[in-house]
Structures are given as C-alpha cells and as structure tokens.
Chains A and B, each alone.
Chain A
Amino acid sequence: MESSKRSNVFISIGSLLLALLFSALLILLLKYSPIEAYGAMFKGAFGSKNSWAATLGTATPLIFAGLAMAISNKAGVFNIGGEGQIVVGAMAAAVAGQYGGGLPKIIHIVICLLAAGIAGGLWAGIAALLKVKMKINEVIVTIMLNYLAVYFVNYLVMNPFKAEGMTARTNYISESAVIPSIIRNTRLNYGIFLAIAVALIFLFILKRTIMGYELRSVGLNPSAAENAGIAAAKYIYIAMFLSGAVAGIGGAVEVLGVHKYYISNMTVKYGYDGIAVSVMGGNSPIGILISAVVFGALKAGASNMNRMTHIPSEFISVLQALVIIFVATPAIVRRGKDRISKGKGKREG
C-alpha cells in the first residue's frame, strides 16, 4: 500500500478508536458501564447469524449513501443532499413498484431502480444547476432540498398515494418488484450485491478510465482541468447526477428489499450517515465498503445495547459525529501518534 493510503487507514482506525474512547467516557458520565454497553453492541452486531444479517442489511443503504457522497467529492462538490435524494428515489421505486405487476422480476426491478436513479439524479441536479449557473454554494442548497424532499414526499404519501388504513404509507409493491431476502425475516437482501457492484464499478471508473481521470482533475484543480480542455461544468453535472442516482437507488433498495412500501421517515439520517461513512472510508470505494459495515454494526448493535442497558440508541449519532470530527481532523490523530511514539522513544532511549 502506498504510504499515503496507509496513513489514511491509520487515521480512520485511530479516529474510530478515539471516538469509542470518548463515547465510553460519555457513557460513564451517564452512569452506565461502557463495557456492558460495548459488549451488548458487539453481540447485537456479530453475535448470531441474524445479527450479521442485521449488520449487513443495515450496511447496504449506507454503502449507497457513502458512495454518493464520495462520487460528488471526487469532483469537488459537497453533496449533503443524500437524505433528500434517497427519499425521492425510495418514493419513485415505491410508486413504480406498484404498477406493472405482470412483468418478469428482473425487468420490473430494473425499471424501479432506474426510476429511483433518475429521480435522485434529477433532485441532485437542481443543486448542480444552481452551482454552475449561479455559483450558489451547493451545501445550503442540498440541505434545503433535503427538507423539501421529505415534506413533499410526505405530502404525496398522505394524499395521492396513500394506502388504505391508518398508517401513512403507500400501497405494497407488486411481488414482481420485490428484491428477495438472503436470510428470511431480516433486512439482508440481494441488494447488497448491487451495492458492492456499484462500489467496484466506481473504483474502476475512477482509476482506469478517461472519465474518471477528467472527473478527478476537475475535483482537484478546476482551472488546470479547464486549461487542459476538460469542461469543469460538465463534470459537476455528471458527478451530482450520478451521486443523486446512487443515493436514489439506495433508497429504492430499502423499499424493494426491506419494507416493500414507502412509509414516512423510513430512511431518516441515512444521508448524513453516508457522509460519515464516506469520510471515514477516505472517500474511496473499498474504504466505504468497510466503514459501511462498521457503521452497520454500530447501528445494529445499538438496538441490542438499548435493550440490555437502556442506553438510548441515539447514542450512535454521537459516536458517528465523533468519528466524523476525528477523521476530518487527522491532525488530532497524528498528534496523538506522535506523542505515543515520543513516549516509546523515551522509554527505549
């Protein structure tokens, strides 16, 4: 591994450890036992076949969300709109899944995913348009679009597409649109293979193709890219559209593979979690796969932790926030490493 990659991995692991450490302190302050808490988390994530299924099943949308963030990052755009794009994509899939009941499974699923991808891509495209044409910072725009997506889709769920009965959700999708589970009655479905495939495709495109090369150049130095005949604006559109599309597909997989309908708030915080996953994974596809599993484990374990120790499961958000802070501030981890090695040196010297 090149030394810069090695140091990235070190930083990510170091950040996770630091975050766990600080969280443990917080747990102590709240008068619980960190050992019990982490133990319960571990069991909940890895203790049984069903735990693993929960972990990997939770990781699946996180992979999509993380990849979405990374794609845009490579082009120098901060797509914080994962939340909204996932919602829009999920809704599109929930609607497309209801019609076309007679189609063969593969075709129907592909249509739903396409619908979701286009919906998510266009939603992100709005931010790209504003950025290119009017130079408006995409962070605020995508965050506003997040709220708009949630409320607008809520409206759709409550009115035109509402299912019969008390709950605020859409109708069930047809059987032909369902992505089968890998282990029955768990979240784990074949969508995870799609997620891994997308990650690998992304890796290939980035490192080995002209498109990936031009995309990276735009992200690293748009002036130099322009000078070399690469249209920076074009890539902002492409990156945001793909980013939104991937997020949208992630939302679709949740609908088609897990819930089989769309219900309000079913994808809460996936977008922001995706940012954490991407940051911790160093914005690289393989890193994202790994950190998505880690976060999936944390979330899956959190509900067990809540059951066993009564620590609120929102606690995971705190952990995640700490991870983001530490990963984004490599200087902290590096300074810690320097102190440790200086200490070692003193002892040996």
Chain B
Amino acid sequence: MRNRLKVLRAERNWSQADLAGRLDVSRQSVNAIETGKYDPSLPLAFRIARVFALPIEQIFIEEEAQAQAAE
C-alpha cells in the first residue's frame, strides 16, 4: 500500500519526530509507514487520518485499486 504521509507532513512542515509525537508512536514507526515498509493497523490509520484531518483514502492508496482504475 502506498501513502502520502511524506507529502502531507512536508506541507505542514512537520518532521518525522513531530508526527510520531502527535501519533504517540516512535519515529522509526513513522519512517517505516512512510517508506511503505509497514502498513499500519486500522486504528493507527484512523489516528493518522485524524491528525491530518483527511479521510483515510486520501492518505493511503491501495495499489491494486489504483492499477484497476488506470486500466
């Protein structure tokens, strides 16, 4: 699953540590999610959505769905 975490974070001028603090997770967790190496649980995804005040689907993009849309 891809995500727009890095872009959204940059728009708000937040560091990974800033976002980690807002989500109450470690900076390593934010980095792993951002680089797509770890997909967060649903509760954490909702927390991320709340922090950015955006719907989940505007933050996380299912690659399969994106490929289907492109066809």
- Do chains A and B stick together as partners? no
